[in-house]
Amino acid sequence: MVVDLSKCMRCHACIAACRVEHFLPLGMTWPRLIAWEENEAELTTFPVRCNHCQDAPCVKVCPTGATQQREDGIVWVDQDRCVGCRYCIIACPYQNRTYLSRDRDTGYFPGYEMTEFEKVGRKLYPHTVGTTEKCNFCMERIDEGISRGLKPGKDRAATPACVNTCPSRALHFGDLDDPDSEVRQLIRDRRGFQLHLEHDTDPSIYYIDKGYRGA
């Protein structure tokens, strides 16, 4: 994924799209927006999520093999194997994992009947209390789209929901191994950079911006 910082409007559409796509419980957010003032006249915003690191610390520390990395690089969590030890949360240098505790599973309106959205979500995309969760690049959409001959990053049905929803086209998705893909061209032409290179994790998310040299 490539994030164009110069186009992000802080509209939170990516966050809303992710919540709808994955029926996220109240208080759980996979993508986040981090913003701070560079100076009195400029506000910098970094949309962040799991970086799907090529050398992922979370995969290494998981004692049950619940956190896995696919051949395409996507890092995901098998909730059936997760025991909630939270080693992965400690190991993640980007703080992009969440533990679903019982107090987070109280419903959108505690004390009242679940909304229709929640009822549908419990059937279509159940979340297991006592496990960790994070962005999975909408891998279900990707797999379904590829099975139909679609191309991730080009065809909407095979592309993460946040990318499809971004109104300013700040998010781009594609094959980092393909030198001719849009994401590789953006990284090459716009001097794309990764966050926190000192951790040596080789993130699969790159950022581009006018004149920015990295973090």
**Predicted confidence band at 215 (pLDDT cuts at 50, 70, 90)?**
very low
Per-residue pLDDT reduced to its tens digit, 130-179: 999 999 999 999 999 999 999 999 999 999 999 999 999 999 999 999 99
The whole-number pLDDT of residue 107 equals: 84
How many residues would you count in the chain? 215
| The pLDDT of residue 137 | 98
What is the C-alpha to C-alpha distance for residues 124 and 122, in angstroms, rounded to an integer?
6
Domain 2-208 has CATH 3.40.50.300: no
| pLDDT mean across residues, the chain | 93
What are 91-109's pLDDT values in tens digits? 999 999 999 998 877 888 9
Give the Cα separation of 208 and 156 in Å (integer): 22
User: Across the strands, what pairs with 133?
Assistant: 98
Decide: helix, strand or coil at residue 39: strand
Write the burial class of residue 38 (CB in 10 Å: 0-12 exposed, 13-18 middle, 19+ buried). Answer: exposed
> Rounded to whole angstroms, how far apart are CA atoms 85 and 63?
9
Answer yes or no: pTM beyond 0.85: yes
Which of 188, 189, 187 is CA-nearest to residue 207?
187
pLDDT, mean of residues 42-66 = 93
Confidence of residue 110 (pLDDT cuts 50, 70, 90): confident
For the chain, the structural domain boundaries read: 2-208
Residue 147, amino acid: S
